[in-house]
């Protein structure tokens, strides 16, 4: 999954971009839970499964809900 696909799904679930971090990373937050996470913006490069799992865990998003978005 690329950054663009991830960002589209996160926005559909109510998450929002918070601010730019160092380098190619961004801080995103989930307003419903108040949690934040760092997401690498690597353009068309695919994110690793472990990175995706950590992002969902940090934002407290269920994997099934993410897949449906």
Full set of structural domains in the chain with CATH: 3-68 (3.30.920.30)
Per-residue pLDDT averaged across 9-17, rounded? Answer: 97
Query: Per the confidence metrics, is the pTM higher than 0.85?
Result: yes
Number of CB atoms found within 10 A of residue 20's CB: 11
* Cα–Cα distance for residue pair 69/67, rounded to 1 Å: 6
pLDDT at residue 32, rounded to an integer? 94
Tally the residues of the chain. 69
pLDDT of 26-52, one tens digit each? 999 999 999 999 999 988 999 999 999
* Cα–Cα distance for residue pair 24/39, rounded to 1 Å: 9
Instruction: State the DSSP code for 59.
Output: T
Q: How far is C-alpha 41 from the geometric centre of its chain's CA atoms? A: 10
**Averaged pLDDT of the chain:** 95
């Amino acid at each position: 999954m690329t950054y663009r696909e991830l960002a589209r799904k996160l926005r559909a679930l109510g998450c929002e971009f918070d601010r730019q971090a160092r380098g190619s990373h961004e801080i995103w937050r989930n307003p419903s839970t108040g949690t934040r996470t760092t997401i690498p913006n690597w353009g068309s490069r695919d994110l690793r499964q472990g990175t995706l799992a950590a992002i969902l865990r940090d934002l407290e998003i269920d994997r099934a809900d993410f897949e449906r978005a």
